[in-house]
Chains A and B, each alone.
Chain A
Amino acid sequence: MKNKKGFELSFGWLFSIIVGIAFISAAIYISTKVLDTSRDFQSAEDAKQIGVLLNPLETGIESSKSGVITFSTNTRTYFSCDNIGYFGNQGIGISSESSVGEEWRRPSVMSKFKGKYIFSGNYVEGEKMAVFVKPFYMPYKIADVMYAFSENEVFCFVDSPNYVEKDFSSLGIKGINISSNGECPRNSTTVCFSKTGCDIDVNPELRTVRKYKKTIYYAEDDNYALLYAAIFSEPGMYECQLKRLMKRNAALADIYLSKALSLSSRGCNSNLESEMVMYSNSTSKFNNTIEIRNVKDMSDEIKRRNDALNCKLF
């Protein structure tokens, strides 16, 4: 017959075990939460720092600038774009590779910037992030547009026009390969200007860029800022950022309209008031990248008339 008495556990032991388990569970839960919060806080602080670090890259009278942001560990920099409010927002979030918990924890809070326009993929991964900046004019300066990609990435430009070669040779960015014979390094992203079937196909005559099976439109501005924007960014990001740029363009058109009225009351009539009103209306309603062609035509006309003025608006 089996012994049914079993092991006797005193109340004191039972109580200690239950309370001990509760304490240890609570400690694990709290330390995990504290760790997550501290990672979120660090990521928000780093993202804000990236925003501040990008400020010196903004151009004054220069036509372009470039730089490299170096992280201490392998880092993902997330970029987002929204069109909320008058100017929309550029979001920047940071996530560092971690051996505790999730390897890549997506930032819960993105730092928002109203005056920045970063054209990139949804995130850039690596210890070094290459950034170059170009001022975007249409017809006056609207903003500095930034292009970001990982230094581990290689973009191979095949049969690119002279201005592209000249731009990249003066910027000296690592990861940009100009190929004249059509040969590109393995695993590079190919950008073709005269043929199709590459990762990114540019048609300079139609002013279109085909990427991820999507066609987006650009306009040839003074610094080819929109061409590079279309090449280096994800199509959804390009469309969103272009809408934000047009919102800023509309706000600037209103400022130049006020300036035109102020100058005319002081004896210098520009006769550009009605054009600025039309330009502001057209850019504020911008909804599709193909509309950039119409905006460019209006901008060229305003530029032509402004250049002929004695007291120029811009």
Chain B
Amino acid sequence: MLLTANYSKKAQFKVQEMAFTVVAIIIFFGIGAVFLLLIVSDNLNSQVELQRAEEAKEIVRKIAVSPELAFTEKGCDSCLDMDKALALKNSEKYDDFWDLEYLKIITIYPNKSGECTKDNFPECQSITLIGEDEQDFGITQGTYVSLCRYEFKVLGYYRCELGKVMASGRNL
């Protein structure tokens, strides 16, 4: 026995019409959501970049008084201890301590060259504590400091040179 169903053509047309409308509305809202997401993510990126720069600026400003780098013998507020900096360079513990992607100490005067190691210290120009020079770190902040160390010739004395600390915040 053959069974047949008699559907109303008008009802079928209405269902199709409704389905197309629903799909069109979904596509419309979808496109709107994509645009909204693009605007929000762009806004988020610029805020993150600003936060990174602000944080790096604060860290650079305070780095000379951080116990790991401060030159404490003479109570100097913006003096860095180069002996401690060299020790810090070889310490893995501090790789992500400051939330920085790049941190470097450079001697500006007197003129010197080369990265410092235990063998060539203090006759060297820079100590890179975090990151490598070749990479792109975005906005880099810097501040001028005195780089101090103990010198021993006939009598011991403290010697300070002009230097700069450069830093860049960590990317998210």
CB pair B88 A255 closer than 8 Å = yes
Across the interface, B67 reaches (CB within 8 A) one of A56, A141, A267, namely A141
Query: How far apart sit A113 and B99, CA to CA, in the bound complex (Å)?
Result: 8
- Which residue on chain B has the smallest CB distance to residue A113? B99
Query: How far apart sit A52 and B60, CA to CA, in the bound complex (Å)?
Result: 12
For A176, the chain B residues whose CB sits under 8 A away are none
CB pair B67 A140 closer than 8 Å = yes
Give residues of chain B (52-108) contacting chain A, Cβ–Cβ below 8 Å.
Answer: 54-55, 58-59, 61-62, 65-68, 70, 72-73, 75, 77, 81, 83-84, 86-88, 90-91, 93-94, 96-99
Say if the beta carbon of B9 comes within 8 Å of chain A: no
Min CB distance A292 to B, Å, is 18
CB pair B83 A259 closer than 8 Å = yes
Q: Please, what's the 1-or-0 string for A1-39, where 1 marks a CB less than 8 Å from any CB in chain B?
A: 000000000011001100100010000000000000000
For A59, the chain B residues whose CB sits under 8 A away are 65
Query: How far apart sit A268 and B155, CA to CA, in the bound complex (Å)?
Result: 10
Q: A115-B97, A267-B152, A268-B152 are in contact. Are A48 and B62 (CB under 8 A)?
A: no
CB pair A255 B75 closer than 8 Å = no
Min CB distance A76 to B, Å, is 22
For A113, the chain B residues whose CB sits under 8 A away are 99
Number of interface residues of B (CB under 8 A): 44
Interface segment, one of B11-19, B129-137, B139-147, B160-168: B11-19
For A140, the chain B residues whose CB sits under 8 A away are 67, 72
- Which residue on chain A has the smallest CB distance to residue B122? A266
For A48, the chain B residues whose CB sits under 8 A away are 51, 55
Q: A251-B94, A255-B91, A268-B150 are in contact. Are A12 and B14 (CB under 8 A)?
A: yes
For A115, the chain B residues whose CB sits under 8 A away are 66, 97-98
- Which residue on chain A has the smallest CB distance to residue B156? A311
CB pair B14 A11 closer than 8 Å = yes
Say if the beta carbon of B47 comes within 8 Å of chain A: yes
For A263, the chain B residues whose CB sits under 8 A away are 83, 150
CB pair A60 B91 closer than 8 Å = no
CB pair A11 B15 closer than 8 Å = yes
Query: How far apart sit A52 and B81, CA to CA, in the bound complex (Å)?
Result: 25
Extra inter-chain contacts (19) besides given A254-B91, A258-B83, CB under 8 Å: A12-B14, A15-B15, A19-B18, A45-B47, A52-B55, A52-B58, A60-B65, A61-B77, A114-B96, A115-B97, A143-B67, A251-B91, A251-B94, A255-B88, A255-B91, A259-B83, A259-B87, A267-B152, A311-B156
20 sampled A-B residue pairs with Cβ under 8 A: A15-B14, A16-B18, A19-B18, A19-B22, A52-B54, A55-B59, A61-B65, A114-B97, A114-B98, A140-B67, A141-B72, A251-B93, A252-B67, A259-B81, A259-B87, A262-B86, A263-B83, A266-B150, A267-B152, A268-B152
Binding site for B on A (CB under 8 A): 11-12, 15-16, 19, 23, 41, 45, 48, 51-52, 55-56, 58-61, 86-87, 113-115, 140-143, 248, 251-252, 254-256, 258-259, 262-263, 266-268, 310-312, 314
